Amino acid sequence: MQTPINVLKTNGHIEPFDVGKLERSLLRSKATTETVAQVIEHLMKEMHDGITTAQIYKHAFFLLNKFKTPAAHHYSIRQAIAELGPSGFPFEKYIAEVFRSLGYTSETNQIAMGGCVGHEVDVVAWNDKKLIMCEAKFHNELGMKTDLKVVLYVKSRFEDLSESTHFYGNKRRKLDEGWLITNTKFTSTAIQYGLCKGLTMVGWNYPEKGNLQDLVEDGDLMPITTLNEIHKGELKILLESGIVLCKQVRGNASILMDAGLSKERADAIVLEAESI
C-alpha cells in the first residue's frame, strides 16, 4: 500500500494530498485535459511527505509555462492579485475595475459621512438603481483569512454610513449595500455572521458562485501582475499609474509609453497581454 502524502498548507495546517483538487484547479485555469495529465504526471514524481502547497503551485506553474500554454496565466491569478503590492491601494483600484465590469461607475479612496463620524471608504460604486460602498481587505499572504473581527468592524461602519445620504450619480441617496471583498478566504464564523447580518461578502472562493475568481474570469479582469514579461521596476511604475489590468494594455502600447516605458518594452508587454 502506498504511503499517503501529507501537504503543508500556507496557514500551517497539514492535510492529505488530494490529486483531484489539483486536477480541478488546473482544469479551471483553462489547461487542456492532455496538459493537465502531463502536469500531474510530472508533479507526482516530485511529491513527498511535508511538501508545501506553495511548492506544488510553483512547480505546476513552471510546468504550465514550460508547455507554453496560456493556462499558466490563469493558474497564477490568485498569486498575481497578492502581488499587486503591500500597500493594498492597487487592490482597491482593482476592485473598482471589478465593479465597472459589473456595470457600475466606481471611485476609490472616498470620504463619506455617517450618522456619527466620517469614514474612509475604499470603493464606492453606483448605477441608477443602487449605491454600494465596499471595504477592500487585502492580504499579502494567501494563508491569511479575513476573520470575524474584521467583519464586525466593517458591518458597524456600514451601519453608521446607512444613517446618512450620499451624493453620487448626481443625486443624494441612501446606501443600498455594504460589501466586503478580500483576495483570500473568510473564516467560518465570519461567513456565519455576514450571512446573519446581510453583509455581502466576496472572497477568493466565497460565495460558491460570484466569488472573486469568478468575477475575475467572467469579467476579463486578469491583473497586470500575471504577465511574466513585466520587470519589477516597471510593475511599480504601472501600478502607480493606475494600470492594473491586462486588458488596459492590449493593443495599447501608448499607455505604457506614457507611463515611462520604452517602445520596445511596451511592445513586448502588449504582445504577452494579447496572448491571454
pLDDT at 91: 93
pLDDT at 2: 57
With 0-12 CB in 10 A as exposed, 13-18 as middle and 19+ as buried, what is 269?
A: buried
pLDDT at 17: 87
pLDDT at 88: 67
**Residue 110: closest CA among 91, 133, 130, 141:** 133
Q: CA 6, CA 119: separation in Å to the nearest integer?
A: 45
pLDDT at 264: 93
- Domains located in the chain, CATH noted: 6-75 (no CATH), 82-218 (3.40.1350.10), 222-274 (1.10.150.20)
Name the 3-class secondary structure at 78: helix
Output the pTM of the full model: 0.80
Question: Cβ(201)–Cβ(179) under 8 Å?
Answer: yes
Question: Average pLDDT of each block of 10 consecutive residues along the chain (276 residues)?
Answer: 74 84 82 86 87 83 76 79 80 94 96 97 97 95 90 97 97 97 95 95 94 89 88 88 90 91 92 86
- Torsion over CA of 205, 208, 214 and 215, rounded to 10 degrees? -90
Name the 3-class secondary structure at 6: strand
